[in-house]
Amino acid sequence: MRCTRLIPLLCLLVAPLAAHANPFEHKLANGLNVIVKEDRRAPTAVHMVWYRVGSIDEKNGLTGVAHLLEHMMFKGTPNVGPGEFNRRVAAAGGRDNAFTNRDYTAYFQQTPKAQLEEMMRLEADRMRHLTLDPKEFAQEIKVVMEERRMRTDDQPPALLYEQMNAVAFQASPYRAPVIGWMNDLENMSVEDARDWYDRWYVPNNAYVVVVGDVDHDEVFRLAEQYYGPLEPRALPLRKPQEEPKQLGIRRLTVKAPAELPVLLMAYKAPVIRDVERDVDPYALEMLGAILDGHDAARFPQRLVKELRVAVNAGSGYDSTARGPSLFFLQGSPSEGRTVAELEAAFRAEIARIQKDGVGADELARARAQLVAAEIYKLDSMFAQAMEIGQLEAVGIPYRANERLIEKLQAVSAADVQAAARKYLDDDSLTVAVLDPQPLPKTPRPRSGAVPRH
User: Which residues 85-124 are close enough to bind other proteins by CB under 8 A?
Assistant: 86-87, 90-96, 110-112, 114-115
User: How many residues bind other proteins, per CB under 8 A?
Assistant: 80
368 binds other proteins (CB under 8 A): yes
User: In whole angstroms, how close is the CB of 44 to other proteins at the nearest point?
Assistant: 5
Amino acid type, 124:
A
Report d(CA 391, CA 319) in Å as an integer. Answer: 11
Q: How distant is the alpha carbon of residue 399 from its chain centre? A: 19
Instruction: Work out the burial of residue 66: count CB atoms within 10 Å of its CB; fewer than 13 is exposed, 13-18 middle, 19 or more buried.
Output: buried
Of 18 and 138, CB closest to other proteins: 138
* Three-state secondary structure string covering 37-92: EECCCCCEEEEEEEECCCHHHCCCCCCCHHHHHHHHCCCCCCCCCCCHHHHHHHHC
Is residue 276 a contact point for other proteins (CB under 8 A)? no
- How far is the C-alpha of 165 from the C-alpha of 163, rounded, in Å? 5
Q: Which of residues 293-332 bind other proteins (CB under 8 A)?
A: 293-297, 301, 304-305, 308, 311-312, 332
d(Cα 218, Cα 155) in Å, to the nearest integer?
Answer: 46
Q: Is 360 in the site for other proteins (CB under 8 A)?
A: no
Residue range at the interface with other proteins (CB under 8 A); choices 18-26, 339-347, 352-360, 442-450 = 442-450
Which of 8, 81, 83, 359 is close enough to bind other proteins by CB under 8 A? Answer: 83
CB 34 within 8 A of CB 26: yes
Q: Find out whether the peptide bond into 23 is cis, omega within 30 degrees of 0.
A: yes
Tell me whether residue 96 or residue 280 sits nearer to other proteins (CB atom).
96
Residue pair 143/87 in contact (Cβ under 8 Å)? The answer is no
- Residue 150 sits in the site that holds other proteins (CB under 8 A): yes
Segment 45-64, which members bind other proteins (CB under 8 A)? none
The answer to whether 51 and 105 have CB atoms below 8 angstroms apart is yes
Shortest spacing between CB 200 and other proteins, in angstroms: 24
- Of 376-415, which residues contact other proteins (CB under 8 A)? 376, 378-381
Q: Is 153 in the site for other proteins (CB under 8 A)?
A: yes
Closer residue to other proteins, CB minimum distance, 351 or 373: 373
CA 334 from chain centre, in angstroms, equals 30
H-only helix segments in 106-210: 116-128, 134-148, 156-168, 182-186, 190-200
Q: Determine, following the binding rule CB under 8 A, whether residue 145 of this chain makes contact with other proteins.
A: yes
Footprint (CB under 8 A) of other proteins, residues 178-237: none
List the alpha helices (DSSP H) in 239-293: 280-292
- From the list 59-67, 135-143, 388-396, 415-423, the region that binds other proteins by CB under 8 A is 135-143
Residue with smaller CB distance to other proteins, 87 or 238: 87
DSSP 8-state symbol, 248 = S
What minimum distance in Å lies between the beta carbon of 141 and other proteins? Answer: 8
Assess 20 for contact with other proteins (CB under 8 A): no
Residue 426: what residue type? Answer: D
- Interface pattern 248-267 for other proteins (x via CB under 8 A): ---------xxxx-------
Nearer to other proteins, 237 or 449 (CB): 449
Task: Kindly tell me the burial class for residue 372, based on how many C-beta atoms sit within 10 Å of its own C-beta (0-12, 13-18, 19 or more).
Answer: exposed
Question: Which residue from 324, 321, 317 is spatially nearest to 287, judged by alpha carbons?
Answer: 317
Minimum CB–partner distance for residue 192 and other proteins (Å): 18
By beta-carbon proximity to other proteins, the closer residue of 24 and 382 is: 382
Residues serving a catalytic function are: 70
CB of 437 to other proteins, least distance (A): 9
Q: Which stretch binds other proteins (CB under 8 A): 124-132, 141-149, 164-172, 391-399?
A: 141-149
